[in-house]
């Protein structure tokens, strides 16, 4: 049984002008998500700027999210690190706070071998009893979980249950799902590939788009999961210009600006990320207007 099916939001973390976490706006964003049909909340991932949080701050945000959601939807904590021991410690703490699962990115910079990835994910999963979703995003980490590795882990480690696939490599994903034969829950890590990955047997998306369009992203997934691919395809096509605009600069730069247009004061980004350029801000605003999110 999947931790969730449908659209899980890779939720942004609002900051105050002094770059501290803006918990009032974060709670507002959480409530907006739940009110608009988000199927799960993934906290402290890439979009949540976990890379520039201290470990203490990271886990305070996770704890806050779990408490505010209060079991209304699953909360999955981003606990990945390029240090296996750090990932273990974060995962144990997330479980203690009541997380429904953890999302662990492949070790970045280290460039682990496939054997190293097996050892890394196995060690994390064996340290906790809640489900683990692996996160494969080679463009950011320089490390790729090959199909055979992902399937080996799913078949041999009982609580490794899923993978967020942001490879953009449909051939690799197809091979992985063929080898998995149903043992691995697949989530699209790219908002422009929700339909293709669900067609391959996926169960949903971990989404940036959901931050500003939670109901619409949920509906794309729901239609596809119901087998109504024509309706799902039309909804996916309609969202493509906005999805493109949300990635006109590196995530989460555009989505934090986009949130301000829908009433969430997401605040500044932490260095080394910088504010969106004026040129791209106009592109983003126009896409949101055309999608009907702002007037």
Active site residues: 135, 164
CB-based contacts of 151, cutoff 8 Å, min separation 6: 176, 179, 180, 183, 184
The alpha carbon of residue 39 and the mean position of all alpha carbons in its chain are separated, in whole angstroms, by 12
DSSP 129: S
Secondary element (H or E) of residue 56: helix 55-69
| Closest-CA residue to 81 (of 114, 123, 41, 39) | 123
Please provide the size of the chain in residues: 295
Structure tokens at 157: 């480690």
Using alpha carbons only, how large is the chain's radius of gyration in Å?
A: 18
Rounded CA separation 284/169 (Å): 26
């Amino acid at each position: 049984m999947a931790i969730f099916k449908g659209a899980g939001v890779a939720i942004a973390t609002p900051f105050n002008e002094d770059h501290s976490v803006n918990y009032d706006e974060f709670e507002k964003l959480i409530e907006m998500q739940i009110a608009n049909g988000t199927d799960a909340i993934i906290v402290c991932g890439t979009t949540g700027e976990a890379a520039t949080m201290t470990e203490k701050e990271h886990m305070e945000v996770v704890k806050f999210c779990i408490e505010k959601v209060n079991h209304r939807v699953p909360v999955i904590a981003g606990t990945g690190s390029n240090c296996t021991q750090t990932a273990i410690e974060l995962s144990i703490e997330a479980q203690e706070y009541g997380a429904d699962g953890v999302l662990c990115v492949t070790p970045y910079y280290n460039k682990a071998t496939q054997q190293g990835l097996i050892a890394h994910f196995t060690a994390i999963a064996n340290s906790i009893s809640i489900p683990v979703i692996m996160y494969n995003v080679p463009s950011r980490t320089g490390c790729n979980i090959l199909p055979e590795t992902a399937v080996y882990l799913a078949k041999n480690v009982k609580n490794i249950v899923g993978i967020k696939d942001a490879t953009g490599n449909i051939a690799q994903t197809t091979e992985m799902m063929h080898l998995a034969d149903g043992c691995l829950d697949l989530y699209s890590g790219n908002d422009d590939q929700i339909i293709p990955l669900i067609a391959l047997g996926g169960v949903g998306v971990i989404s940036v788009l959901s931050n500003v369009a939670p109901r619409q992203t949920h509906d794309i997934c729901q239609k596809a999961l119901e087998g109504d691919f024509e309706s799902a395809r039309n909804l996916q096509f309609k969202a493509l210009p906005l999805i493109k605009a949300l990635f006109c600069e590196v995530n989460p730069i555009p989505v934090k600006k986009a949130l301000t247009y829908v009433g969430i004061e997401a605040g500044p980004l932490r260095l080394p990320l910088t504010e969106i350029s004026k040129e791209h801000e106009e592109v983003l605003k126009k896409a949101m207007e055309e999608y009907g999110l702002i007037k």
